Structure 1
Amino acid sequence: MISTLIQEAPYADLSFELSGEKLPLDHGYGLYSAISTQVPKIHGQSWLSIHSINGIPDKQGSIKLTKNSRVKLRLPVDRIPQVFPLAGSSFNIKGNYIRLYTPQVLMLQPSPKLTARIVVISKYLEPEFFLKAAIAQLVHLGIKGDVSIASNPSGGLARRVIQIKGHINVGFGVEISGLNPKDSLKLQQHGLGGKHRMGCGIFVPIN
């Protein structure tokens, strides 16, 4: 009964303002480790996703943080009290320091077109087979939409990697269009692939 209630609870993004200068572009695992150290009860929880922090890439493997940079956690609204103590915390991520401030709750909004910066599906490293696996996961969730691999700035396929404990994980940027409101919210809640706590498989509306 408890698991059913958790599954049906509405999801939101808890968005923390932050201060700091820069972070590694590949900071997903470091951010998750820092958050888990601060709030140990969330370690390994399947209901939690952690967005990559937005910033300006410097083409040297780092991003410059701006006034619009945020630490965002996607989670059921009834779990928010568990992570609210992160406000005021300071993190050291690979020698770069950031500090979090009072968060804002942003309820998920339906959009017919969503995108994820990177989706990682274990063992599916080539575009053709990856796309088939992504479509199969969408079907399993009962979501109808048109799936495609996103393009990078040069026009090629958006093939991306993240490093976790020294292991390289390969994924792709993904776009899904033609979603009805219910399926759009479901996809934002469940995501695709794995490594959601390290910034992967998290979908947001395309502006």
Structure 2
Amino acid sequence: MVFESKHPLVKHKLTLMRHLATKPKKFRELIREVAMLLCYEATADLKTSDIEVETPMGTAAGQDLSEKIGLIPILRAGLGMVDGIWEMMPGAEVWHIGLYRDEETLQPVSYYNKLPTFPTVQVCLVLDPMLATGGSAIATVDILKKWGAQRIKFVGLLATPEGIAALQEAHPDVPIHIAQIDSHLNDIGFIVPGLGDAGDRQFGTG
């Protein structure tokens, strides 16, 4: 399933991120804020258990998260999404997967993976600002499934219809939570109208 955010704050902040004049510091702040908002939507179905807590005025029934969350940022652009989500879920584990896209074939190449031997979380959130060709997302989900992950969700800023179709075909069980679906993929694999290279714009390397 594909969940495109309708939240006004998401749309507003995404518009600011797209703007050519937005500097890296502001871009990093915005990606953190949008990631936080998207996480709120992507985690609406997390499982909880009933607990009771003591308040200053008595006892209250409440809910406690019963699933452990793993954040899987795809290096390097996914790094900017971690802090906002981590602020909301400080107990989440963070595991990095490094992939880069071969500019000739547009296929992902893996260069870093430090997942532990066995899964330590029940829900994995794959974080990548751009779902363009879908190659990096597919490769990351492949890695997580081989690792033994049971529940996986993709969370990103922008997606193309081509990238969504590719990820859904390869992994129809992975929900896609996105800020906005853009028009198309151009002939060099960039999202149009997009926002440029999310990694370069975060780290000032473009």
Shared fold by TM > 0.5?
no
TM-score (norm 2): 0.25
Which protein is richer in helix relative to its size?
A: 2
When Rg is computed on C-alpha atoms for both structures, the one with the higher figure is 2
